[in-house]
């Protein structure tokens, strides 16, 4: 019966949760999971040398009891259990050696969509990082075939990616660092409900698994493995986003990074990857589409220009400066243009009122 197979796979997944590749090889050697559990100690020992601890756990009668309760719990809450080999299991993830033996999935997203983009970054996202993420995803929603957006449900860039996907008509998948009986972070409970209406929540952790440091690292491999490419939208020199980008590279996925100012610590990770050519510079959605061979709609507008007919020369000069050096304070802009500080302040306020610039503290950005 299918329920019996799911129970066996859940049990196997629990034993090899952090050694998925070992569990996968053992499963392959037996051919089917029922034979594995019916092999007994001698049969297991012959194929799992030096794995006494694993064998003891596999032979523990309480393991299958737990697994059966897990299957019943999942069914009761509308959670699909997707073992390796299931047609609904993400095929890209299945190609990775450390792919989970079982995924828990709640929602209706197509985990095998023809195009999948992961978006990751810092929890301490700046306005510029969130806005850059929003701009890119909104433009990608104009693709002939819209991509599925995968992220990790965290605060900051992850949340911005999920929110933009939902508002732009893109399906999105949130990958959790805990069981599906818990939503983390709690601030994103409402977001999780909205995602379930337009996408799915996924994890490889059973219920009653709380988020701790190593579960976030395990979560990151799923984000990278499910995707065709990863966009690092903002990252400090160290962080989970960089780990996901590194995992993506190890899986032969494309890595893109949103560039930031050299003086912005929150973009050190992005700029470092770009400088080392470990990531493709993602200044806009077109850069991603071109690199991935994703065709944009022919009817879509070209690159937006904020220059307008009739703009006086000083305003045009200031707009060009913002385009090349944003963000800038009024003092920086005055120094670089040679204009009077008071005149620059007036021009920047005019641009803000016209919707062509945005103020963030004492810094000004182009409206994206």
Between 350 and 251, whose confidence is greater?
251
**120 in a domain, yes or no?**
yes
Q: Identify the residue whose tokens are 């799923």.
A: 222
**49 in a domain, yes or no?**
yes
Per-residue pLDDT, averaged over 39-62, amounts to 92
Per-residue pLDDT, averaged over 76-90, amounts to 97
Are 254 and 122 members of one domain? yes
Are 193 and 265 members of one domain? yes
**Does the structure show a pLDDT above 60 at 106?**
yes
Per-residue pLDDT, averaged over 238-267, amounts to 94
Q: Structural domain tally of the chain?
A: 3
Q: What is the pTM of this model?
A: 0.81
Comparing 56-65, 171-180, 307-316, the range with the smallest average pLDDT is 307-316
**71 in a domain, yes or no?**
yes
Per-residue pLDDT, averaged over 87-113, amounts to 97
User: What is the model's pLDDT at position 332?
Assistant: 80
Cβ proximity of 306 and 323 under 8 Å: yes
Are 276 and 344 members of one domain? no
**69 in a domain, yes or no?**
yes
User: What is the model's pLDDT at position 303?
Assistant: 44
Are 220 and 271 members of one domain? yes
Between 49 and 125, whose confidence is greater?
125
Beta strands across the sheet bearing 172-175? 80-83, 102-107, 200-203, 172-175, 148-151, 116-121, 229-234, 254-257, 280-281
pLDDT digits (tens, 9 = 90+) for 111-163: 999 999 999 999 999 999 999 999 999 999 988 899 999 999 999 999 999 99
**Does the structure show a pLDDT above 50 at 301?**
no
Are 328 and 209 members of one domain? no
User: What is the model's pLDDT at position 365?
Assistant: 65
User: What is the model's pLDDT at position 227?
Assistant: 98
Cβ proximity of 175 and 144 under 8 Å: no
**226 in a domain, yes or no?**
yes
**204 in a domain, yes or no?**
yes
The CATH number for 204's domain is 3.40.50.450
Tell the burial category of 207 from Cβ atoms under 10 Å away from its Cβ (0-12, 13-18, 19+): middle
């Amino acid at each position: 019966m299918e329920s019996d197979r799911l129970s066996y796979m859940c049990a196997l997944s629990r034993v090899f949760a952090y050694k998925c590749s070992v569990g996968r090889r053992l499963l392959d050697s037996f051919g089917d999971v029922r034979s594995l559990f019916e092999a007994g100690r001698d049969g297991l020992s012959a194929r799992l040398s030096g794995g006494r601890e694993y064998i003891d756990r596999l032979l523990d009668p309480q393991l299958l009891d737990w697994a059966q309760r897990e299957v019943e719990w999942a069914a009761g809450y509308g959670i699909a259990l997707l073992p390796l080999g299931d047609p609904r299991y993400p095929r890209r993830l299945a190609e990775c050696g450390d792919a989970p033996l079982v995924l828990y999935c709640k929602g209706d997203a197509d985990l095998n969509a023809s195009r999948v983009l992961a978006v990751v970054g810092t929890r301490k996202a700046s306005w510029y990082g969130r806005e850059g993420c929003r701009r890119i995803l909104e433009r990608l929603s104009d693709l002939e075939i819209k991509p599925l957006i995968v992220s990790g449900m965290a605060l900051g860039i992850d949340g911005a990616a999920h929110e933009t996907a939902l508002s732009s008509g893109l399906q999105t998948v949130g990958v959790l660092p805990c069981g599906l009986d818990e939503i983390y972070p709690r601030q994103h409970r409402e977001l999780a409900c909205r995602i379930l209406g337009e996408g799915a929540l996924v994890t490889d952790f059973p219920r009653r698994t709380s988020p701790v440091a190593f579960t976030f690292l395990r979560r990151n491999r799923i984000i990278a493995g499910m995707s065709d490419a990863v966009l690092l939208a903002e990252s400090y020199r160290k962080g989970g986003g960089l780990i996901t980008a590194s995992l993506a590279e190890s899986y032969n996925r494309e890595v893109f990074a949103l560039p930031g100012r050299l003086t912005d610590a929150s973009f050190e990770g992005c700029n470092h990857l770009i400088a080392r050519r470990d990531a493709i510079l993602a200044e806009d959605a077109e850069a991603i589409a071109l690199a991935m061979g994703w065709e944009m709609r022919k009817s879509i507008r070209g690159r937006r220009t904020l220059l307008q007919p009739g703009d006086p020369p000083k305003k045009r000069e200031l707009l060009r400066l913002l385009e090349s050096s944003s963000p800038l304070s009024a003092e920086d802009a005055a120094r670089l243009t040679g204009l009077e500080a008071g005149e620059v302040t007036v021009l920047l306020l005019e641009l803000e009122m016209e919707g062509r610039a945005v103020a963030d503290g004492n810094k000004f950005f182009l409206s994206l």
